[in-house]
Amino acid sequence: MKKLALTAVCMVLAASGTVVSAQNAPAPAAAPAAPRPAGPPPTPALGDGPWDVQGADAKLHVEVVTKGLDHPWALAFLPDGGMLVTERPGRLRIMRNGVLDPKPIEGLPPIFAPGIAGLTDIVLDPNFATNHVIYLAYSKADPAEGANPAPNVNSTLAVMRAKWDGAYKLTEVKDIFVADAWYGKPPLPPKCCGQGPAFGSFGGRMAIDAEGRLLVTSGDRNFGEKVQDPTNHFGKILRMNLDGSGVEIWSTGHRNPTGLYFDAATGRLWETEFGPRGGDEVNLIQRGGNYGWMDVTQGFHYNAEPAKKGTRNVEGMTDPVWAFGPPSGNPGNLAIYRGTSFPQWQGDMLVAAMNRSLVHFRLSPDGHVVWKEDLLSNLGQRLRDVRVAPDGSLYILTDETAGAILRVTPGS
């Protein structure tokens, strides 16, 4: 499959961060023999704002819409101007007129939420205005383990379909997809490369394409040896009908894909995913594509073991559009800007990153990265989701225990 070439351009410094030339991170010569990182440094408390941030070609005005969310993961804009917001520990919340309702919506099934598992994405049905149907992705423990299972049980990714009453209740709740990626109960098989715990890397991002089919990302569960096997759902993007029928493996070779966006203007499907210690990726997804994991990566395995087949340009594998070299980019969700508030950003990509920045990529018409800049680093917050609102403003979720929703509009 054809690799995407990247064109280097100018380098510009901005008050909000650095705009860098567009190129993949250089292929690593040798993996450093470093221990697995202990985790990110503590996050400073988010102030009350607002803040004005100067980017390379736009001034941004950033406001706090609400605080009081625990690791918010995704949001969906409602036809009446409200928003539905998921919290990873297992709550679905409603925002009306810019105010977070303190009462969660009832009716969710049991959510398996140790570590980074939990309730993830939300997507509205294309006919939501009349049928009030929503789709939610979540981590599901083996039902035989009871109501409060320990972290070391078999679990997998699931997608539920439900009808929302517009207030505080879900009805007709049904799993329409349960990934063939059950894993976690000891004794665990031997694994290479210093991979993490079994209750991580679920994926769980969704999108609906132009044909009204549901696309779902399924992570590798930190068992990368399973990903290149086409008979399971480890490390895959799946495509299915809205009732869960007709499941097809759309692409493979993914580690933990936490971003997915279907750009209706171009018909392109974009994805972001975590690599090991660097090698985080932005991918342009093609049907049947193999994106390499875990045989090919531009990151460093946690035990310093080299990638089995190399870092790039491997026969039969598709290289990323962008690879974040060490330190990791930690990408969350992404969006292609199609709005009126920032006309100079038409067709640009925005990635909410947990390295505490909003990454802005300028794309060429054929989907190559021209340059990038890091925005909002001054806030010091891990960012999980970015969405373009109907009015063209941006809404961003901070991936924190004291999580928040931010709104970005043009500065004066």
State whether the Cα torsion 219-220-226-228 is positive or negative.
positive
Q: Given the DSSP bridges, would you call strands 289-290 and 248-252 parallel, antiparallel or unpaired?
A: parallel
- Across the chain, mean pLDDT equals 91
Residue 332 binned pLDDT confidence (cut-offs 50, 70, 90): very high
Q: Is residue 328's pLDDT more than 50?
A: yes
Spatial contact of 70 and 120, defined as CB atoms under 8 Å apart: no
* Confidence at residue 6, expressed as pLDDT on a 0 to 100 scale: 33
Task: Identify the structural domains of the chain with CATH numbers, from first to last.
Answer: 1-22+50-63+337-398 (no CATH), 70-329 (2.120.10.30)
* Confidence at residue 26, expressed as pLDDT on a 0 to 100 scale: 43
* Confidence at residue 40, expressed as pLDDT on a 0 to 100 scale: 62
d(CA 81, CA 72): 19
Q: Is residue 47's pLDDT more than 60?
A: yes
* Confidence at residue 12, expressed as pLDDT on a 0 to 100 scale: 32
What are residue 263's DSSP bridge partners? 268
- Residue 329 is classified by DSSP as -
Q: Is residue 34's pLDDT more than 50?
A: no
Which of 104-113, 310-319, 326-335 bottoms out in mean pLDDT, i.e. has the lowest?
Answer: 326-335
Residue 20 binned pLDDT confidence (cut-offs 50, 70, 90): very low
Residue 16 binned pLDDT confidence (cut-offs 50, 70, 90): very low
Q: Which amino acid is at 26?
A: P
Average pLDDT over residues 7-11: 32
d(CA 123, CA 137): 9
d(CA 99, CA 46): 18
Q: Where are the beta strands (DSSP E) in 241-316?
A: 248-252, 256-263, 268-274, 280-285, 289-290
Neighbours of 370 (CB within 10 A): 16
Angstrom CA distances, 150 to 113, 115, 185, 199, 404, stand at 10, 11, 10, 10, 29
Residues near 141 by Cβ (< 8 Å), separated by ≥ 6?
A: 110, 112, 149, 153, 154, 155
* Confidence at residue 38, expressed as pLDDT on a 0 to 100 scale: 55
Residue 250 binned pLDDT confidence (cut-offs 50, 70, 90): very high
Helix and strand numbers, DSSP H then E, in the chain: 1, 28
- Residue 130 is classified by DSSP as H
Spatial contact of 222 and 195, defined as CB atoms under 8 Å apart: yes
Task: DSSP for 9-74, please give it.
Answer: ---EEETTEEEEE--PPPPPSS----PPP--PPPPPPP----EEEE-SS-EEEEEEEEEEESSEEE
* Confidence at residue 43, expressed as pLDDT on a 0 to 100 scale: 86
